[in-house]
């Protein structure tokens, strides 16, 4: 299969490239000039240098079976402004989609964010894919808007779309200020790790498993034209942040101590945020 990929230098995208190449797929990947990959790639894709909103000729999509959109703007706090997030997470990719559609690309696979659900997390023990989108911050709001726009665009053009909202992903290549890599760094340095009480219930999934899910979803044979398929991506094994930290702390044989309760919970933090996982 021939894939056009955005976001291939990113955390999930780099793992996707390695997994897709192992599966025998051919990849053309858009990347910004001088951008390096989050992990070492086993094999480089065919790189196209540019940005999502560039005026690309339609022939870059010749022979493409699926456009996989993993690029995301301002996915980590502090988030950019709402205007910038909307532009780079909705307007710019939609421009690229339109060029692909004119070139005959019919299948689109896009990554969403669990934080699109926002306040809906307070209403569900397990958040279903059709839960109301009630985001409260700029980046999640832009992703929620994009999911609606991409779905409408798919229906208007009678194309196939899979939109997958990713829950708590972690692993190699993750931004070093995020919880898992910072926990690992602290363990390796032999220091204590201050954190909250860790009672937050989350669904943690390793990035390699997330990449494999996206590779699996390259099959569009069961998708109906004009009817978007929206789903959650998670492990189906909820656990507390405390349990997650304790598991890795022991696995790394850390010498310091986990200092529970030394950091307060975030204001209005949703204590349980777990996806409904459909078999």
Summarised one tens digit per residue, pLDDT across range 74-126 is 999 999 999 999 999 999 999 999 999 999 999 999 999 999 999 999 999 99
pLDDT band at 51 (very low <50, low <70, confident <90, very high): very high
pLDDT of residue 242: 98
Residue 279 has pLDDT above 80, yes or no: no
pLDDT of residue 278: 84
Residue 206 has pLDDT above 90, yes or no: yes
Residue range 19-47: average pLDDT?
97
Helix/strand/coil for 5:
strand
State the CATH architecture for 179-202+237-273. Alpha-Beta Complex (3.90)
From the list 238, 232, 213, the residue with the least C-alpha distance to 276 is 232
Residues forming CATH 3.90.25.10 domain(s) in the chain: 179-202+237-273
Q: How far apart are CA 264 and CA 279, in angstroms?
A: 36
Instruction: Give yes or no for a contact between 29 and 35, defined as CB atoms under 8 angstroms apart.
Output: no
pLDDT band at 229 (very low <50, low <70, confident <90, very high): very high
Q: Which CATH superfamily is domain 2-170+204-233 in?
A: NAD(P)-binding Rossmann-like Domain (3.40.50.720)
**Token pair belonging to 214:** 């996206």
pLDDT band at 31 (very low <50, low <70, confident <90, very high): very high
Residues 176, 178, 180, 183: what is their CA dihedral angle, to the nearest 10 degrees?
70
pLDDT of residue 84: 98
pLDDT of residue 87: 98
Prior bond to 78 cis, omega within 30? yes
Residues forming CATH 3.40.50.720 domain(s) in the chain: 2-170+204-233
């Amino acid at each position: 299969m021939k894939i056009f990929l955005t976001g291939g230098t990113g955390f999930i995208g780099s793992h996707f490239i390695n997994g897709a190449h192992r599966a025998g797929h051919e990849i053309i990947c858009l990347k910004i000039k001088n951008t390096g990959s989050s992990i070492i790639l086993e094999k480089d894709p065919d790189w196209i240098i540019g940005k999502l909103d560039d005026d690309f000729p339609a022939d870059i999509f010749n022979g493409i079976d699926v456009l996989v959109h993993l690029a995301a703007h301002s996915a980590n706090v502090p988030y950019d402004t709402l205007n910038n997030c909307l532009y780079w997470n909705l307007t710019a990719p939609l421009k690229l989609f339109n060029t692909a559609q004119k070139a005959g690309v019919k299948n689109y696979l896009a990554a969403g964010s669990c934080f699109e659900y926002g306040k809906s997390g307070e209403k569900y023990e397990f958040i279903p894919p059709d839960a109301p989108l009630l985001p409260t911050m700029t980046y999640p709001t832009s992703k929620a808007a994009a999911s609606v726009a991409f779905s409408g665009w798919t229906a208007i053009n009678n194309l196939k779309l899979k939109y997958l909202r990713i829950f708590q992903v972690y692993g190699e290549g993750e931004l070093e200020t995020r919880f898992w890599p910072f926990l690992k760094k602290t363990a390796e340095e032999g220091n204590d790790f201050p954190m909250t009480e860790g009672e937050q219930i989350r669904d943690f999934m390793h990035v390699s498993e997330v990449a494999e899910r996206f590779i699996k979803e390259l099959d569009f044979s069961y998708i109906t034209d004009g009817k978007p398929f929206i789903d959650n991506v998670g492990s189906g094994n909820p656990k507390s942040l405390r349990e997650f930290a304790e598991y890795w702390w022991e696995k790394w044989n850390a010498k310091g101590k986990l200092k529970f309760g030394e950091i307060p919970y975030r204001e209005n933090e949703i204590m349980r945020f777990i996806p409904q996982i459909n078999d």
